[in-house]
Chains A and B, each alone.
Chain A
Amino acid sequence: MLKMSQITKVYRTELVETHALQGLDLHVEEGEFVAITGPSGSGKTTFLNIAGLLESPTSGAYLLDGEDVSRLNDRARSRIRNEKVGFIFQSFNLIPDLNLADNVDVPLRYRGWSAARRRDIVGKMLDRVGLGARHNYLPSQLSGGQQQRVAIARALAGQPRFLLADEPTGNLDSEMAEAVMGLLETINEQGTTIVMVTHDPDLAHRAHRNIHILDGQASDVPDLAPGNVMQFSESLRV
């Protein structure tokens, strides 16, 4: 479903050139649940941005569903983001002055669907994350875990086949993190492909496959026990 080859990304500022990705090769199959690990600054977020068409690679090829998407114009990229990709962020990123239903509605607005159809989907999505009774709540009236569930409902509203999550449990305590992880697993079982960046080795271990990014290059990590992954990351950081 996703195939990147020899992707590089260079950030140029006046003072420095940062090679965030340096010839990254990576592919994800339809229906997979992939966890990305790696030390801070290794390029995980950069990878997600490119995978989600929020940024363009400096060089390399990126095929999404067999289509080369690395050189599309803004409109086409926005459309693909809207139709194929869902995002979940560490800090939820709900719009504070919109109620839950309107927050979940955001991606659907750019779909051009009728109000009835949108309302129907929003209701279903909020039900699915267990917040069906709280359409008119504002984000500030929810706990962190509940907010992240709303964000997941939003990411799923447009029925994307591809879900990108950047440390979705990073701001949650372990109990809430567990609930969110459980939700992601259910979603994956129902067919959505998930790529999740995480620092939590236990969560990473629950994914089908772990990919480790180091210095802007990816490598598949063999099936390691949770403890070993930790050690592995630690050792790489030195």
Chain B
Amino acid sequence: MFNYYLRLALSSIRRTPVLSALMVLALGLGIGAFMTTFTVYHLMSGDPIPHRSDMLYAVQLDNWDPNRPPTESARDVRAQLTWQDGNNLVLADTPATRQVHMYGTGAVVVPEGNDPPFDESVRATWHSFFPMFDVPFLYGGPWGQAEDEARAGVAVIGRELNDKLFNGENSVGRDLQLDDQHYRVVGVIDDWQPMPRFYHSDWGRAFEDTEQVFIPMNRAIDLQMGQRGNTNCWKMPDEDLPLFEGFLKSECVFTQFWAELETPQQVAAYKDYLDNYVRGQKAIGRFERPLATFISDVMEWMDVMRVVRDDNRVLLRLSFLFLLVCVLNTVGLLMAKFMGKGGEVALRRAMGASRRQVFQQNLIEVGLIGVLGGLAGAGLAWLGLRAVENMYRGYQHLVHLDAVMLLTAIATATVFAVLAGMYPVWRVSRLAPAGLLKTQ
């Protein structure tokens, strides 16, 4: 019977192509808009590192201008540290299991042979970065404490860059030229793209690519590699010092700092440690504001950083309302379509179809419209997400229109179509079977 109903549904859809197309379009638009905003929202609000997100803490120290309004929450404090504070902490014996201090920079990669040089973002960091953030390696591994201390010329590169420079071969031990400096490759990272990119999620950067080059921070500092990304200063660096040194010793914030804390005791001890550190700094004339330090685990940090912006939430709600409007529209169109079905229904009833059979037959037609609407919706969602990508820099990873998304769209559309169709289909199945004889 299902095949029979399906065949009838197809021919019924063919019989009213305009009306059917309108319904598919209405559902498709609603589903497409909702899927687009939902995908964006889902990716933005997801946990980028689920198994470790509750032990990784972003560190904030309030070193700002004493004349600014008082600090009430983590959102009032700069998201980054000065180099000197980060460096003090990373070298200190703190209660944390691991700490990482880092900043984003860049360099020109000079390939061997005749290929043209190109620019790459570089993360200047500490060896602890890789185990802390559970970075997967394809070849080799991270450098160690010794290389950090020796300010060594070593590098970890990403798979993409490895494909480009070394044809995807194991490049451990090979030479990598950045600007005029040579580095020894010690590891190649496999595909790795935490979403959002929590470890450096400044405004607008939470959806950027992970870097393809990682080098020891000490090395980058020695080479005076400039920071890329937000830099905030509330007072000018000391002009008596050379430019880069003055910048390093200034109150300008541009580095990211994370601590790994596994137990509540460790968290409390670390927080005390930070407070004491700031007290110590106050004693030498820095940190003129009331003492304020914050540590936030990954999901708290995503909130502090407003990675999911309020307008995303509003958009999600609006698109859901839009979906409802589309579904209501579909109800109207279905009513119109089924209005013309009285004759056939009365006939089938006279031939022995029960109400239930009429209900099933028409529900399958509605379901089929739902499936088509879902396909249209998935297509529109794909276009929508492409548009989002083009509009906002750094959203490149938002979408992979995969089977899951396609199935979700179809399932959602079918469910909504069937919901929308319930009432019209019920109505149609209640049509008086006597209708045929009477209208003569």
Contacts and interface: CB of A to CB of B under 8 A. Distances in A.
A48 to B, nearest CB: 6
Contact of B350 (A87, A167, A170): A87
B14 interface: yes
Interface residues of A, number: 32
B347 A75 contact: no
Contact of A81 (B352, B356, B432, B440): B352
B440 A75 contact: no
A89 B436 contact: yes
Given A52-B350, A83-B352, A87-B351, A45 B438 contact: yes
Interface class of chain B by DSSP: helix
Contact of B437 (A82, A111, A166): A166
B14 A107 contact: no
A97 B14 contact: yes
A6 interface: no
A221 interface: no
Given A55-B434, A95-B347, A97-B14, A166 B440 contact: yes
A98 B14 CA distance: 12
A158 B351 CA distance: 9
B4 interface: yes
A49 B11 CA distance: 29
A54 B434 contact: yes
Interface in A97-144: 97-98, 106-107, 109-111
B433 A75 contact: no
A98 B353 CA distance: 17
B352 A79 contact: yes
Given A78-B353, A89-B437, A106-B348, 18 more contacts: A52-B350, A54-B350, A54-B437, A74-B354, A75-B355, A78-B352, A81-B349, A81-B350, A82-B351, A87-B350, A89-B436, A93-B343, A93-B436, A97-B11, A97-B15, A109-B4, A110-B352, A110-B353
Given A87-B350, A93-B347, A74 B355 contact: yes
Nearest to B11: A97
A48 B4 CA distance: 30
B177 interface: no
B351 A106 contact: yes
B149 interface: no
B91 interface: no
A40 B436 CA distance: 17
Contacts of B12: 97
Interface residues of B, number: 26
Contacts of A89: 436-437, 440
A212 interface: no
Interface in B9-62: 11-12, 14-15
Interface of B: 1, 4, 11-12, 14-15, 343-344, 347-357, 432-434, 436-438, 440
A78 B357 CA distance: 10
Contacts of A52: 350
A90 interface: yes
A154 B347 CA distance: 11
A70 to B, nearest CB: 15
A89 B439 CA distance: 11
A91 B352 CA distance: 19
Given A45-B438, A55-B434, A166-B440, A95 B344 contact: yes
A93 B434 CA distance: 13
A111 B350 contact: no
Contacts of A54: 349-350, 432-434, 437
A110 B351 contact: yes
27 contacts: A45-B438, A52-B350, A54-B349, A54-B437, A55-B433, A74-B356, A75-B354, A75-B355, A78-B357, A79-B354, A81-B349, A81-B351, A81-B352, A82-B353, A83-B352, A89-B437, A90-B440, A91-B440, A93-B343, A93-B436, A97-B15, A98-B11, A106-B351, A110-B352, A158-B351, A166-B440, A167-B440
Nearest to A158: B352
Interface string A152-195: 00100010000000110010000000000000000000000000
B350 to A, nearest CB: 5
Contacts of A167: 440
A170 B437 CA distance: 13
A100 to B, nearest CB: 15
Nearest to B347: A93
Nearest to B435: A54
B352 A111 contact: yes
A93 B351 CA distance: 11
Contacts of B14: 97
